[in-house]
Structure 1
């Protein structure tokens, strides 16, 4: 699939199943990721590739966080949160490892990792791999970051779920770029 076709046809795939991407495909996804724009060549992206039992460990972290926030959570809620780590055969956790005090502000470093995740999403589509980018409260929890091996200063940018699409892909909306164009306002500074 050529680049423009991949960009123009990519959709998020919410329901994923086995098989997940091969080791070679994961390497290709990460190779695409690290080609993202990066002001200052800081290379802020860090990735955890979770498969098999490692997803169970992420489920442990999710359940632990649930119980910290809701100690009375019943078994159904606990099972539900644990199963979120099992929604796909492979999960790539993308984290911005922030270089503090650098001329490149932290928000630009986070954007660079966001661009890396977008590269993963497009590359996955081009390889025929279903992908879903998720964040949520888990991405902003300091104790979760620590359990994933990162510092408070760092930012989880996304949990990228990867696998084989289970069912038909959703239809893309028929939108035109002109819908999103704006003109520079006139008259305020003149």
Structure 2
């Protein structure tokens, strides 16, 4: 069935990742973060296991995260300029949300791959809600997620740090993806 796109679908189709260098204050407030998390909770979740957690970093906590990033850079062999650059990356977005997975590898009914799908669905819904509320955002990861001290700062035993969502008000309209194929490449019909 074909029909005109609704305003909400038009808005979803306009969402693209916005990197930290294009994000400024204000970042999402408590109510916006709650709404974004409510949207994340509407993602698929076989067995209602909630195999993910979001941990908000803002205000003075950004300084602590910046110090963690700088220390990790030094452990990785970067000089002080590189450590300062990594610290600045932690300070740039107004709000950062750590994405943590809690996958039950021995669950009798919900295999790990289904739990990972739940994490991805929650992440997508969270970013879509941020966009609909007028914020820009981007999921970031890299070598820092594998640093034991950084992971320990964000994770409980049995959890995995996946990365961080940088959030804020976009200072420019995103141009859209330049490398993503269209739906004709991503959608095929099996027979």
Does the 8 Å CA contact 2:95/2:168 hold for their aligned counterparts? yes
Which is worse superposed, 60-69 or 82-91?
A: 60-69
State how far apart, in whole Å, the 2-side matches of 1:2 and 1:46 are. Answer: 30
Q: Structure 1 residue 120 and structure 2 residue 112: aligned?
A: no
Q: Whole-Å Cα distance in 1 between the matches of residues 140 and 101 of structure 2?
A: 15
8 A contact 1:139–1:156 mirrored in 2: yes
Runs of 4+ in 1 over 4 A off after TM superposition: 172-175
| Aligned twin of 2:3 | none
Residue 163 (str. 1) matches residue 168 (str. 2): yes
Q: Distance in 2 between matches of 1:175 and 1:143?
A: 38
Alignment check: 8 A CA contact 2:96 2:167 kept: yes
CA RMSD after TM alignment: 2.2
Q: Does 1:22 align with 2:29?
A: yes
Structure 1 segment 26-37 matched on structure 2, within 5 A:
26-37=33-44
Offset at residue 138 of structure 1 (A): 1.8
Instruction: Label 1:180 to 1:110 Cα distance change in 2 as closer, same or farther (>3 A).
Output: closer
State TM-score, norm by structure 1. Answer: 0.85
Structure 1 residue 2, shift from structure 2 partner: 4.1
TM-score with structure 2 setting the length: 0.85
Whole-angstrom distance in 2 between the partners of 1:111 and 1:183: 22
Where does the alignment leave 5 or more consecutive residues of structure 1 unmatched?
186-190
The offset of 1:172, in angstroms, is 4.9
Counterpart CA distance in 1 for 2:128 and 2:156 is 26
1: CA distance between counterparts of 2:148 and 2:8?
Answer: 37
Which structure 2 segments of 5+ residues have no match? 1-5
Output the CA distance in 2 between the equivalents of 1:2 and 1:158.
Answer: 31
- Comparing 111-120 with 138-147, greater Cα deviation is found at 138-147
Count of equivalent residues: 182
